[in-house]
Structure 1
Amino acid sequence: MSENYRKVYYIFSPFLRIFHWIMVLCIITLFFTGLYITKPISGGVNGEPTFGAMVLSLNMIRNIHFLAAFTLTASFILKIYGFIVNKGDRLFPRVWEKSFWLCMMDVSLHYMLIQPTHKSYLRNSLARMSYVALYLMILVEILTGFAMYLMVNPNGMGAFLFGWINPMVGGEFTVHLIHHYVAWLIVLSAIGHVYMVIRSEFMEGEGEVSSMFSGVKALSHEPVDIGEIIDKKTDTVK
C-alpha cells in the first residue's frame, strides 16, 4: 500500500491571517447593522424602534456600524501593507502571463465538472481574481461609506477628502444605493468563497480551511505557481 505523501508549504503570514479574520467579523457586523439602519424596527416616536429599546436603539446600532467601519478600514490598509512586505501574502493575479489564463481554464473546467481534477496551485487564478474583486468592492464600500458619514460636516477635512464622491456619482442618494447593493455583492461573494473553500477542503484535502489559521497548505504535488513565493534553490520563502 502506497502512502500519499504531502509537502507542507508555509504561505500566509500571521499579518494576513489576523487581519483576514478581523475583516470577516467587521463585514458581518457591518452587513447586519447596515440592514437594521436601512429598515429599523419602527413603531415608536419619529420611527425610533420600540422593541428592545435598550438593545436595539438605532443610535447604538449606528455607532456599532461606524466602529466596525473604522476597524475594517484600518485592517484593509494594514492588509495592503502586508501584501507589500510579505511575499506569501501577495499572490496577485498575473493577467499578463499566458500561464495565468491556462490555470483559469484548467480550474474552471474542473469546477464545471468537465474534468475530474486540476493541477496543483498554491492559489489558483479564479481565487486570485475573486480576491481582487472582493478588495475592490470593499474599497467602494469604504469610499461611499465615508462620503455619507463625513458629509454631516460639509466644511470639515473629511468632506474635503471624500466630498468629491457624491457629485461624481450623481448625488448622495446614488451613493446610498451603491453602498447598499455593493454590500449585498460582498455578502454573496463571501458565501461563494466559503462554499469553494469547504469544497476544496473535502475534495482536495490540502488544508484550504486550516491555512487561514496555520498559514500552511499540504500538497501532494509541487504547485505550478511555487516559484512566486518559494526560492527553489534554498526551499525558503523569498
Structure 2
Amino acid sequence: MIHEVDEALRDLVRGQIGSPDVEVVFDAPTRDWAARRNAPTVNLYLYDIREDLKRRSRGRQNVYGEEGEVVSRGLPPRYFKLSYLISAWTQRPEDEHRLLATLLHCFLRHEALPAAGLGPELSATGLPVPLTIALPPPEDRAFADVWSALGGELKPSLDLVVSAPVAVGPLYEAGPPVEEGLVLHLDDTRAPAAEPGPAAGEGGTRAPRRHKR
C-alpha cells in the first residue's frame, strides 16, 4: 500500500511541475544527502505512519456486484495516515519557494489522490484516498524536531498527510438471494372440540323443576 501511495504522489508531482529536469525522490534529506545532490529536486520524505482512528468503523460491510446484489461480506478497511515532509532543493531559495508554491496549489486542488493513478491494492478497496496539506502539526510533534532528527538545517517545507485504506481480513462469499417468500405449512391433527349445547332461552328446552312438598 505504501509503495502505491509513493507512485501516485510521484506521478501527481511530476505532472504538476512539468519539467523533466526536476527530480522527485523519497530519500531522507540528511546533511550528507544534501551535499551529494546536484540537480533540482523535490523530496517527499515519509517520516511518520500511524492509524487514522477517526476513520475506523466497526462491524462487517457488504460488497455489491454489478446488479446491486451482495456478493461477499468482510471487515471494513482501516485507514493509515502517511505523513510526508515535502521540501524543494535548488541553488537559489527563490526557486525553492516557487516549487513549494506550485506544489501547494497542486495539493489544494485535490481532496484525494486521483483514482486513475492508484495501484491495484488501493483500487481494490473502491474507496477514496484522502489527503491534506499544510495543516498544523499535532501537539506531540513539531517539524523542527523532524529536521533535527535528520541532522540537517531547518528548511521551508510542506506537511502532506495521506489517509490510505488497508483491507483487513478475508472476504466471505454471501449465499444466493432468496427468490420466494416464506411459506408456512400447518398440519393440525387434533380432534375437533365438541360443540356446546344451546343455552336456555336460545331455542333449547329446560328440564322441568320439581317442587318439594
Q: TM-score, normalised by structure 1?
A: 0.21
Q: Name whichever structure is richer in strand by fraction.
A: 2
Q: Which has the larger radius of gyration?
A: 2
Q: Name whichever structure is richer in helix by fraction.
A: 1
Q: TM-score, normalised by structure 2?
A: 0.22
